[in-house]
């Protein structure tokens, strides 16, 4: 005899009024929803481990169990983006935004995706919605993403405005600092570019891109010793990077 049935019999015997109990169908729905949440988190874990096939299997299972949560749809978008299936990724991100009801985390992630696949206006709109949300703990990240979006869309002035907004909220916003260093270097302002890159280096680990930028800045400023220092670090720390390949190609061209 099930526990629900025993409880109902006891209540009837005492003549007590009970709150409505879950039906078997409701139990099944609750179990499926809980299982979907677990499978969604497992998919995220597999993605972190670069186990893309396992992540796909888990998120597909989660979608079968409960496709009605923004998080599950967002993770599905992330999985299929990593798998290179833009059609499915876009569909899931669209659904995540629809279900999100203004959740800034979902808006930021979806906005970044749409910018990356060239839907700049839509991506930027979602990112600015995320940045404007009082519920969002890191609006600087959304502004930095909006800056990247505008820059990719060929609007450097708007991009710079977004990066400055990000830095006004969080002066240590690493992506905005690196982007501003690149913009300043592109404008021929090497000293400003150097200052932004120094601020970036103080808050974030070096990357192949940041070391390549540092070398370019120092060459432009005429500091060949510092440029050589960046080049050595690039070879030592990122030997297989595209930047190191370009550096080696330059070296081969020299007499």
CA distance 209 to 193: 14
pLDDT at 108: 97
Contacts of 196-199 with CB under 8 Å at 24 or more apart are: 199/171, 199/172
CA distance 76 to 44: 9
pLDDT (tens place) for every residue of the chain, 255 residues total: 444 434 333 333 433 334 344 455 555 888 889 999 999 999 999 999 999 999 999 999 999 999 999 999 999 999 999 999 999 999 999 999 999 999 999 999 999 999 999 999 999 999 999 999 999 999 999 999 999 999 999 999 999 999 999 999 999 999 999 999 999 999 999 999 999 999 999 999 999 999 999 999 999 999 999 999 999 999 999 999 999 999 988 878 776
pLDDT at 21: 45
Contacts of 51 by beta carbon, 8 Å cutoff, 6+ apart: none
Could you tell me if 44 and 50 are in contact, meaning their C-beta atoms sit under 8 angstroms apart?
A: no
> Which has the closest alpha carbon to 178: 161, 163, 162?
163
pLDDT at 152: 96
CA distance 118 to 122: 9
CA distance 137 to 24: 40
pLDDT at 251: 78
* Cα 124–Cα 126–Cα 132 angle in degrees, nearest 5: 100
**Tokens matching residue 249:** 């190609």
Could you tell me if 55 and 79 are in contact, meaning their C-beta atoms sit under 8 angstroms apart?
A: yes
CA 47 to each of CA 17, 57, 106, 129: distance values in angstroms, whole numbers, following the listed order: 49, 11, 18, 27
CA distance 220 to 56: 47
pLDDT at 29: 81
pLDDT at 210: 98
pLDDT at 4: 46
């Amino acid at each position: 005899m099930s526990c629900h049935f025993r409880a109902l019999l006891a209540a009837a015997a005492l003549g007590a009024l009970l709150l409505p109990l879950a039906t078997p169908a409701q139990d099944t729905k609750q179990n499926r929803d809980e299982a979907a949440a677990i499978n969604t988190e497992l998919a995220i874990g597999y993605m972190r481990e670069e186990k893309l096939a396992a992540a796909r299997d888990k998120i597909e299972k989660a979608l079968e169990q409960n496709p009605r949560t923004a998080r599950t749809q967002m993770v599905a978008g992330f999985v299929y983006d990593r798998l290179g299936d833009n059609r499915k990724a876009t569909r899931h991100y669209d659904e995540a935004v629809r279900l999100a009801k203004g959740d800034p985390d979902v808006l930021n992630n979806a906005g970044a995706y749409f910018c990356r696949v060239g839907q700049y206006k839509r991506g930027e709109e979602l990112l600015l919605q995320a940045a404007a949300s009082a519920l969002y703990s890191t609006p600087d990240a959304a502004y930095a993403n909006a800056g990247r979006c505008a820059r990719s869309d060929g609007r450097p002035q708007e991009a710079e405005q977004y990066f400055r907004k990000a830095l006004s909220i969080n002066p240590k916003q690493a992506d905005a600092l690196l982007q501003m260093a690149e913009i300043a270097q592109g404008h021929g302002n090497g000293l400003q570019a150097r200052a932004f890159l120094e601020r970036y280096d103080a808050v974030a680990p070096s990357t192949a891109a940041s070391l390549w930028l540092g070398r370019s800045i120092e060459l432009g400023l005429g500091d060949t010793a510092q440029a050589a220092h960046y080049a050595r670090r690039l070879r030592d720390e990122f030997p297989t990077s595209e930047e190191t390949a370009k550096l080696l190609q330059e070296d081969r061209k020299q007499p």
